[in-house]
Amino acid sequence: MGHFSMEKSLNPGSALSGNQHRGDFSRYQLSPKMKRWAGKSSDRRGHQFAVEVAARMQELGWQTRAEVRITALLGRGFPVDYGDVDVLAWNPETGRVLIMECKDVQFRKTDGEIAEQLADFRGIEVDGKRDLLLKHLDRLAIVRAHSDLLAKSLDLTTTPLIEGELVFRHPVPMQFAWKQLRCKTELRVFDDLAAI
């Protein structure tokens, strides 16, 4: 029985080796070197998912740009680094502009893993660091505060209606705890993009 478990854990298709390949481990479990690897792996997955979301939104009739720096989008600098919008999608006719944060996160199974993932999307700052949701909400706020610059950047003739969308590849625990945050940003999985 121990031999079977050992073979299973060494099998390239096993969850363990899949997690190692993707860098999908809780940060507290990793050495500094592994944290760098996990970060690079996550960045690659994130880039690929953003490209897929942009392509899907184009299929649905939206104009899109992937991974747009806030400074480039608004044509000015800020004292805070707001990073980039994973996917910017807009409809020139309606003036709707979507600020889309795309996350291809690990599928969580245990209560602890689910709690850890929920903690990354509370919209708060912990020890001086903004969580993933707060970064998205801050980007949304700065774009909304400069809607005139956004309209100019996208050649919109109407005042843009700026909406936030948090898009995950697969169902995530946050979907079931989202009611109180829905007024700030929507949450969707990839298969539901046509409902936007």
pLDDT at 47: 82
- How many Å is the maximal CA-CA distance in the chain? 69
Rounded distance between C-alpha atoms, residue 159 and residue 148, angstroms: 7
Reduced 3-state DSSP string for 7-38: HHHHCCCCHHHHHHHHCCCCHHHCCHHHHHHH
Residue closest to 88 by CA, chosen among 58, 70, 72, 68: 68
> Considering Cα of 38, then 44, then 47, then 50, what sign does the dihedral take?
negative
Report whether pLDDT(188) > 80: yes
Q: pLDDT tens digits, residue range 86-126?
A: 999 999 999 999 999 998 876 555 555 555 655 566 666 77
Q: Which domains, from first to last, does the chain contain?
A: 46-195 (3.40.1350)
For residue 33, pLDDT beyond 70: no
Q: Supply the pLDDT for residue 153.
A: 97
